[in-house]
Copies of this chain bind each other. A is one copy, B any other.
């Protein structure tokens, strides 16, 4: 408190429990920054900053595996394509990353958050069903379908019959459960969803990267919005890598298709032939 009421009000407007500072000193979540540098790993730092306390090493390692798994899925993902296009438009790497990160919205970046919500509901319902997780999953999925939502977030993949990241991460969760690091309830819920979705189908609808990372984040106690945030931190690594790689090629105004290609005009009063498309990011 400064004793100047107006100043106190202005400073209170920007209150935070994350960082304290005075000339020559910085404390992050109450830790002197000098003690953190060189002593705390980056994943534990993510945990400390978002949640307020440091994780146990085994918790950090499980989180780390999930963060490593999500870094990239290639340039057909809109965020990666956007990063590559943006960097050819004459913006800094911060700008290219921002345009890309911005698109990790409900559809592109939100499935993990939604899957986590699904698991939390299944866990709550199973408590009311004496712990019958599969019955709970069945009930919650039925509810979802009744509401018109036929795809469960975190399950199924357009490209991979089996998302290779899911079983690998799930095996790490299982090990963490065996070692008492996490309780395993989200993993149970996730497996129950998979089992219910497989019933009566020839081709199963297996867990994908969003479904498994939601298990990891949930087991470790992260709330939904942070699940999305963690995915953004992870995918930012791929976004940076692609933006930088693209910058080395020297292209200018890269469009989505090679320049010789155009687009289909579907409106009225177009050109009779030979037209209806065009190249160039030129204004």
Contact = CB atoms under 8 A, between A and B. Distances in A.
A73 B26 contact: yes
B97 A99 contact: no
27 contacts: A9-B260, A10-B10, A13-B257, A16-B74, A18-B245, A18-B267, A20-B277, A22-B277, A23-B278, A25-B164, A27-B270, A28-B71, A30-B269, A37-B68, A38-B172, A74-B278, A85-B103, A91-B92, A92-B109, A95-B103, A99-B102, A107-B253, A108-B281, A158-B259, A232-B236, A236-B236, A256-B256
B280 A73 contact: yes
Contacts of A255: 75-78, 81
B103 A94 contact: yes
Nearest to A30: B269
B82 A99 contact: yes
Interface string A106-142: 1111111000000000000000000000000000000
**How many chain copies?**
4
Interface in A49-102: 49-50, 52, 61, 64-65, 67-79, 81-82, 84-86, 88-95, 97-102
Interface of A: 4, 6-34, 36-38, 40-43, 45-46, 49-50, 52, 61, 64-65, 67-79, 81-82, 84-86, 88-95, 97-112, 157-165, 168-169, 172, 208-210, 225-226, 228-229, 231-233, 235-238, 240-245, 247, 252-271, 274-283
Contact of A26 (B49, B91, B165, B256): B165
Given A49-B71, A75-B14, A103-B89, A275 B20 contact: yes
A283 B70 contact: yes
A37 B69 contact: yes
Contacts of A4: 6
B78 A21 contact: no
Contact of A73 (B19, B81, B85, B238): B19
A50 B9 contact: no
A216 to B, nearest CB: 11
Contacts of A162: 24
Contact of A280 (B11, B77, B237): B77
Nearest to A163: B24
A208 to B, nearest CB: 7
Nearest to A269: B30
A20 to B, nearest CB: 4
Nearest to A35: B168
Given A71-B28, A102-B91, A160-B23, A236 B235 contact: no
Contacts of A77: 253, 255, 280-283
Given A7-B261, A21-B73, A24-B164, 12 more contacts: A6-B10, A14-B81, A22-B276, A37-B65, A38-B169, A49-B71, A74-B278, A76-B280, A97-B232, A159-B279, A226-B244, A232-B236
